[in-house]
Structure 1
Amino acid sequence: MTPRLEIEYCTQCRWLLRAAWTAQELLTTFATDLGEVALIPGIGGVFEVRLDGETLWSRKAEGGFPEIPLLKRMVRDRIAPDRDLGHSDKKA
C-alpha cells in the first residue's frame, strides 16, 4: 500500500495556494513514493500535514508553517529513508 499524504488547510484564511504549493513540492520530490496527496478544506486557522493519519506538522502546535526542506525530510524519513534529498538535506 502506498502512503497517503493529507494537507488540511483553512478556507477562511485562504490558504489553498499554500496547500497546493506544498503538495506540488512533495509530489515533485516523491513522485513514485506517494500514492495520494489530498487537499482537505478546513476552518479555524488549520494547516496540518498528515502522512497515513500521523500528523507531521500542525500550524497551531508548531506556531507557523513548515519550511519545505524540513517537511521533505520528515516525509522522506518515513517513506524512503535511504533517499538523498540533495540541498533539502542540508540543515538550516
Structure 2
Amino acid sequence: MTTVEIEYCVPCGMLERALNVEASILRQFGDKLERVSLVTGDHGIFVVRVDGEQIFDKDEDGFDVDEIVRRVKPHVGS
C-alpha cells in the first residue's frame, strides 16, 4: 500500500497547512493508504512525498491542496 509523508516547518507555523493537506488526502484516499505521516522540520520546509518520491515542494510549486491531492492520485492503487 501507499505511504504519504508531509514534512513541514514547525517554527514557521505550517502545522495547520500540513493538517489540511493530510485531511484532504485521507478524505480522498484513506482506505487505499497504508499511512499518512506528519514529519516535523525547520528552515521553511514543506514537502510531500509518496512512497519516498517527492511530489510537492513549496519552494518550487504554488501551494494548492487540490493540486497536491491530484499529484498523490497516480501513486494510489485502485
Could you say whether these structures have the same fold, taking a TM-score greater than 0.5 normalized by the shorter chain as the test? yes
Once the two structures are TM-superposed, the CA of residue 73 in structure 1 deviates from its matched residue by 1.4
RMSD: 1.3
Alignment-derived partner of residue 35 in structure 2? 36
Deviations 1:5-43 (A, max 9, x none): 000000110101110111011001101111100000000
Alignment-derived partner of residue 75 in structure 1? 72
Runs of 4+ in 1 over 4 A off after TM superposition: none
SS at match of 1:32: helix
Larger radius of gyration: 1
More strand by share: 2
If asked which structure has higher relative contact order (CA below 8 Å, sep 6+), I would say 2
**How many residues are aligned here?**
78
- TM-score, reference length from structure 2: 0.91
Is residue 2–residue 75 contact of structure 2 (8 Å, CA) maintained in 1?
no
Is residue 46–residue 57 contact of structure 2 (8 Å, CA) maintained in 1?
yes
Alignment-derived partner of residue 60 in structure 1? 59
Distance 1:69 1:51 in 2: 16
Deviations 1:50-79 (A, max 9, x none): 0010000001122x42x1221121111221
Distance 1:73 1:11 in 2: 25
